[in-house]
């Protein structure tokens, strides 16, 4: 390097030095990378034992290595079959068994089942015969069939001695001997619950006359020729019916 050239261009040698330096650095970098890939092994990342084979199963291994000779056999109860599988819908089964017990003939169920076109509906005049006590008759103003069929009941309304009386009867009650339809409503009621019949404006009053006539007709035989007989004879007849 001549001094003259240095003096003429003071930065020329610096440029050369920089170029040389860059080339050296590049060389060094490539060498160090190659060395790292080949040589550096971190001890903390090494496995102490060889990895298990792909098909190795722990459960199988323990079974194979277990020795059963001389061991007492522990008695184990067999697994009980699942109740849920045996009886998928227990509530329905219980209800069915109860209904079959309380309503052996199925007449009561049929009288109020939704499938029956001739079922008793609200607005009909019904007569409930009881095992203990007198029969009660009245206009059916509500039929309650909740979630459990066995609990279903009817609400009858009547006027006794000019006082409105309402009675709920359970359809499947063992105390209820029979339910009869005395008279059907001429037109289908457009309400599910005829609570409006409690108002004096809509109250039908006593249905005893209709029921008495129905009982007389049902008794068959010689019809009491209507107006000729007095009330006493009717009563006698009714009593006889009651005993049957």
Residues that bind other proteins (CB under 8 A): 133, 136, 153, 160-170, 173, 175, 198
Helix axes 231-243, 208-219, angle to 10 degrees: 70
Q: How far is the CB of 209 from other proteins (least distance, A)?
A: 16
For the chain, how big is the Rg over CA atoms in Å? 50
Q: How far is the CB of 159 from other proteins (least distance, A)?
A: 8
Question: How far is 175 from 242, CA to CA, in rounded Å?
Answer: 16
Which residue's CB is nearer to other proteins, number 144 or number 229?
144
Which residue's CB is nearer to other proteins, number 152 or number 224?
152
Which residue's CB is nearer to other proteins, number 35 or number 160?
160
Which residue's CB is nearer to other proteins, number 95 or number 173?
173
Among left, alpha and beta (phi > 0; psi -120 to 50; other), residue 82 is beta
Q: How far is the CB of 226 from other proteins (least distance, A)?
A: 26
Q: How far is the CB of 180 from other proteins (least distance, A)?
A: 17
Among left, alpha and beta (phi > 0; psi -120 to 50; other), residue 42 is beta
Question: What is the Cα 144 distance to its own chain's centre?
Answer: 19
Which residue's CB is nearer to other proteins, number 59 or number 239?
239
Question: How far is 65 from 61, CA to CA, in rounded Å?
Answer: 6
Q: How far is the CB of 140 from other proteins (least distance, A)?
A: 14
Residues 6+ positions from 192 with CB-CB distance below 8 Å = 122, 142
């Amino acid at each position: 390097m001549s001094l003259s050239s240095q003096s003429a261009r003071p930065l020329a040698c610096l440029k050369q030095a920089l170029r040389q330096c860059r080339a050296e650095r590049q060389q060094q970098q490539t060498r160090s990378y190659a060395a790292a890939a080949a040589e550096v092994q971190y001890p903390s990342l090494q496995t102490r034992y060889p990895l298990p084979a792909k098909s190795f199963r722990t459960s199988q291994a323990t079974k194979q290595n277990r020795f059963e000779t001389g061991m007492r056999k522990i008695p184990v109860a067999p697994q009980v079959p699942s109740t849920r599988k045996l009886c998928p819908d227990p509530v329905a089964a219980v209800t069915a068994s109860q209904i079959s017990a309380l309503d052996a003939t199925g007449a009561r169920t049929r009288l109020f089942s939704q499938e029956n076109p001739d079922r008793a509906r609200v607005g009909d005049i019904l007569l409930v015969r009881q095992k203990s006590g007198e029969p009660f008759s009245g206009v059916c103003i509500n039929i309650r069939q909740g979630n459990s069929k066995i609990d279903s009941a009817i609400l009858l309304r009547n006027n006794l001695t000019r006082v409105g009386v309402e009675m709920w009867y359970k359809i499947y009650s063992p105390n209820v001997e029979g339910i009869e339809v005395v008279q059907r409503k001429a037109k289908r009621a457009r309400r599910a619950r005829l609570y409006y019949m409690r108002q004096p404006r809509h109250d039908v009053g006593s249905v005893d006359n209709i029921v008495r006539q129905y009982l007389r007709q049902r008794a068959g035989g010689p019809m009491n020729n209507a107006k000729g007989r007095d009330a006493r004879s009717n009563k006698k007849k009714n009593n006889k019916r009651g005993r049957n």
